[in-house]
């Protein structure tokens, strides 16, 4: 069967630092039931996007727009639904008196409070773009039920993470990377410590120096290899992938020893934006022989690597002897794990 497509408009009217939001609570069989969205609807007849925009705003709010901006084209895909192409607008001038909307409740919401509403996760992405005054964009969003499964901005895949609860279990919510770090909600990561044993039974750790182009902690020393667990993925496959991508190490699952879980939280300002990092990490140890000079480093992520004796590393992190973003309690956990494994 040939797939059909739908054309729609959606508009967010602005006034004194607030958006006019529509709380969709009126219709029983509404795909947007209980969600907060803007005002808009489907094209009729031979309408242009602007014809549809003006008509829908007038029908749903009673207002006549006098100034508006075409901000982006949003493509929606969802199982069981026709593909939708939505023309996204903002408007800052209008005439008339607001009426009661039969689609739901209209309410002015401060822009800084919008992301705390019950929104579609993909809507949060384009709200962030609107708030950043991003140039005209094309955003593709795919869903399976309420779950966001894909986000592509201007042809480039965006990273999506499973949001975790306090116990490290998946909540069913999938969120885009920048929003995760803006909110500081927990998500999963894989941490791999590459170690080598010395003749005096001490251990060296391989530390990576983060690329200076990173969006957080640029130029700081970090775990040998670490990375996010992508939405739908698990800890161990993520660890295998990160070792390969960042260091060029081809590891098998049996090469990684599980040392335990670690919960961590850091926050700091980078490039003028607050970065909140809340993570539940599966921590692994890799003991196979590694020649640091022969590693294939992912330059976008890793500037260089160096070996450091474990005890010296603990002291350096504790006393800020090197610029780093290493959790001291995780480092001490590795120290205890290696000590116990040596006793066996």
Residue with the bigger pLDDT between 79 and 9: it is 9
- Position 5 scores a pLDDT of 66
Same domain, 199 and 325: yes
* Averaged pLDDT for residues 133-154: 96
Same domain, 334 and 292: yes
Same domain, 268 and 311: yes
Q: Is the pLDDT assigned to residue 2 strictly greater than 80?
A: no
Same domain, 201 and 309: yes
Same domain, 267 and 208: yes
pLDDT digits over 13-66, tens only? Answer: 999 999 999 999 877 777 888 999 999 999 999 999 999 999 999 999 999 999
Q: Are strands 221-222 and 203-210 parallel, antiparallel or unpaired?
A: antiparallel
Does a structural domain hold residue 56?
A: yes
Total of domains in the chain? 2
Does a structural domain hold residue 160?
A: no
* Averaged pLDDT for residues 127-155: 96
Contacts of 338 (CB under 8 A, 6+ apart): 195, 203, 285, 310
- Position 59 scores a pLDDT of 96
- Position 29 scores a pLDDT of 74
Of 103, 130, 155, the residue that ends a domain is 155
In order of 4, 82, 179, 229, 340, the CA distances from 1 in angstroms are 9, 12, 37, 36, 62
CA gap 194, 216 in Å, rounded: 22
The CA-based angle 118-56-123, given to 5 degrees, is 25
pLDDT digits over 88-121, tens only? Answer: 999 999 999 999 998 899 999 999 999 999 999 9
Same domain, 146 and 211: no
Same domain, 111 and 255: no
Same domain, 274 and 133: no
The token duo for 344 is: 């066996």
Same domain, 44 and 128: yes
Same domain, 115 and 192: no
- Position 249 scores a pLDDT of 97
**Which candidate, 190, 176, 171, places its Cα nearest to that of 279?**
190
With bands split at pLDDT 50, 70 and 90, how would you rate the model's confidence at 4? low
- Position 3 scores a pLDDT of 46
CA gap 175, 89 in Å, rounded: 23
Q: DSSP 3-state assignment of 79?
A: coil
CA gap 186, 175 in Å, rounded: 11
For 155, phi then psi, to 5°, come to 85, 0
Q: Is the pLDDT assigned to residue 75 strictly greater than 50?
A: yes
pLDDT digits over 230-283, tens only? Answer: 999 999 999 999 999 999 999 999 999 999 999 999 999 998 889 999 999 999
- Position 211 scores a pLDDT of 96
53 within 8 A of 35, measured Cβ to Cβ: no
CATH code for the domain in which residue 135 is found: 3.90.79.10
Of 131, 155, 179, the residue that ends a domain is 155
Extended beta strands in the chain, E state: 5-15, 18-23, 36-37, 39-42, 64-78, 83-95, 105-110, 137-144, 147-153, 156-157, 160-164, 170-176, 187-197, 203-210, 221-222, 225-228, 256-270, 273-286, 302-309
Please provide the average confidence, as pLDDT, over all residues in the chain: 94
Does a structural domain hold residue 97?
A: yes
Does a structural domain hold residue 2?
A: no
Same domain, 218 and 141: no
Q: How many CA atoms lie within 13 A of 64 on its CB side?
A: 2
Does a structural domain hold residue 20?
A: yes
Measure the N-to-C terminal CA separation of the chain; round to a whole number of Å: 63
pLDDT digits over 164-180, tens only? Answer: 998 889 999 999 999 99
Does a structural domain hold residue 171?
A: no
Does a structural domain hold residue 182?
A: no
Same domain, 193 and 313: yes
The helix (run of H) or strand (run of E) holding residue 53 is helix 49-61
Q: Is the pLDDT assigned to residue 67 strictly greater than 50?
A: yes
Helix, strand, coil percentages (3-state) for the chain, rounded to 5, are 25, 45, 35
Contacts of 179 (CB under 8 A, 6+ apart): 115, 124, 125, 128
With bands split at pLDDT 50, 70 and 90, how would you rate the model's confidence at 216? very high
Residue with the bigger pLDDT between 330 and 1: it is 330
Q: How many CA atoms lie within 13 A of 298 on its CB side?
A: 17
- Position 1 scores a pLDDT of 38
Q: Is the pLDDT assigned to residue 343 strictly greater than 70?
A: no
* Averaged pLDDT for residues 132-140: 97
Does a structural domain hold residue 174?
A: no
Q: Dihedral angle at the C-alpha atoms of 315, 189, 344, 328, nearest 10 degrees?
A: 20
323 within 8 A of 212, measured Cβ to Cβ: no
Q: Which domain holds residue 80?
A: 7-155
The CA-based angle 78-84-87, given to 5 degrees, is 135
Whole-angstrom Cα Rg for the chain:
25
Residues in the chain: 344
């Amino acid at each position: 069967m040939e797939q059909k497509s739908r054309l729609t408009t959606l508009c967010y009217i602005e006034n004194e630092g607030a958006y006019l939001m529509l709380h969709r609570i009126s219709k029983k069989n509404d795909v947007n039931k209980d969600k907060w969205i803007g005002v808009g609807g489907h094209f009729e007849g031979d309408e242009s996007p602007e014809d549809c925009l003006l008509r829908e705003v007038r029908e749903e709010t009673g207002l006549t727009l006098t100034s508006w901006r075409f901000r982006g084209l949003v493509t929606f895909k969802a199982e069981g639904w026709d593909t939708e192409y939505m023309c996204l607008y903002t408007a800052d001038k209008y005439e008339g008196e607001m009426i009661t909307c039969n689609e739901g409740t209209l309410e002015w919401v401060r822009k800084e409070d919008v992301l705390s509403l019950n929104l579609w996760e993909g809507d949060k992405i384009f709200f962030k773009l609107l708030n950043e005054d991003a140039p005209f964009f094309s955003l593709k969003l795919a869903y399976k039920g309420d779950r966001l499964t894909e986000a592509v901005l201007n042809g480039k895949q965006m990273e999506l993470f499973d949001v975790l609860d306090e116990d490290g279990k998946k909540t069913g919510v999938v969120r885009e990377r920048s929003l995760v770090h803006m909110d500081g909600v927990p998500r999963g990561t894989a941490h791999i410590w590459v170690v080598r044993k010395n003749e005096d039974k001490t251990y060296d750790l391989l530390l990576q120096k983060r690329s200076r182009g990173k969006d957080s902690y640029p130029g700081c020393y970090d775990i040998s290899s670490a990375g996010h667990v992508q939405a739908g993925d698990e800890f161990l496959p993520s660890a295998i992938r990160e070792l390969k991508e960042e260091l060029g190490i081809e590891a098998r699952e049996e090469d990684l020893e599980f040392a335990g879980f670690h919960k961590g939280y850091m926050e700091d300002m980078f490039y003028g934006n607050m970065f909140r990092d809340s993570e539940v990490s599966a921590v692994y140890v890799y003991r196979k022989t590694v020649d640091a000079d022969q590693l294939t480093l992912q330059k976008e992520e890793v500037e260089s690597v160096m070996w450091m004796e474990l005890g010296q590393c603990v002291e350096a992190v504790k006393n800020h002897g090197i610029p780093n973003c290493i959790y001291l309690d995780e480092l001490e956990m590795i120290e205890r794990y290696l000590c116990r494994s040596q006793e066996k």
